[in-house]
Structure 1
Amino acid sequence: MKAYSQLYELLFEKLFCFSLSFVKSNEVAEEIVSDVFIKLWTIRGRLHDIENLTDYLFKITKNFSLNYITHHHKYPKVSLDDISFDLTSAVSPEDIYISSEIVARINEIINRLPSKCKMIFQLVRGDGLRYKEVASILNISELTVRNQLAIAAKKISEAVPPSLVGSLQARRTEM
């Protein structure tokens, strides 16, 4: 136990700085180094198999730091209000049949939607994700996804006059 304490005092600061260079957070780096020493304590019976204990501890620290980054930054927390989308560049085969006036009006309405509503609309309608997938990605309920899509659909339908929709349907039947 005394040797473990001395090793902790000897290497904690170095391992902390090393981990900090990866994770950029004092609290997280401190937690990682504590986890490294916990790991060391749990494998204390196999320490005689390790040739260079310092190198081994640095490798564990690196791995724990990279694991932290992978798990906690895979889906970084970003405010939905700070994200902007340009939906005008997405062209689907259906857009070919819609007049440029309708497309312009729909895109204008979509771009005026609140950020979260616009993002949900893009993920479901543009990227083809299911409600459950979008809910998981954005950490919201499926009901919220459904409600936001209903809001988007309502705003779009209110913006496109029935006369334009009627002329579009007439053109499709002529083709």
Structure 2
Amino acid sequence: MHQFTYASQLNELNDEHLLELFQQGNTHAFEELYKRFWGVLYLQAYRILEQEQDAQDVVQEVFTTLWTKAAGISLSGSLAAYLYVATRNRVLNLLASKRTYQGHLSSLKQFISGTENTSLQYITEKEITARIEREIHALPVKMREVFELSRKTALTHKEIAHKLQLSQETVKKQISNAIRTLRHKMAHFSFFL
């Protein structure tokens, strides 16, 4: 049986001695270090991060690193100082990555709200305009002629009737039918947009 196996005995050892034991393969020594430092390191991380999950993750990473790299650790000061610095560095890295992430997120939001919305609006307007033009060209010839004259010129119904040798009533009816047809077609089109 390995020396200092029991928690009561490990409890009496200083931090550096516990690290030495752990480096020699005593996992109970690691458990004792974990119990000793988890709470204070968590509070240190939480005080800065103000997020329970982030603080827990930071402390977990510190202990995971201690577990995996213990053999290569040679202390120039106390183990407590080493763990506090490791925790602080991980907190700072996390904050930096969150700032970078928030910066990217903010840029993306600006891009979406500024550029993309106007681009989408522009594309949609272009598509709608093109569709309207196609539907106008699909109108019966006389109806299209009357409608385009009313739309593209400042001619009155009377003037259009005179120009096309139609009655004023026919011009009004053709324009009304053209608008009704286009409304129906565009309502159908907008449903699919």
After TM superposition, the score normalised by the length of structure 2 is 0.43
Quick check: which has more Rg, 1 or 2? 2
Q: Which has the higher contact order (CA 8 A, sep 6+)?
A: 1
The TM-score normalised by the length of structure 1 is 0.47
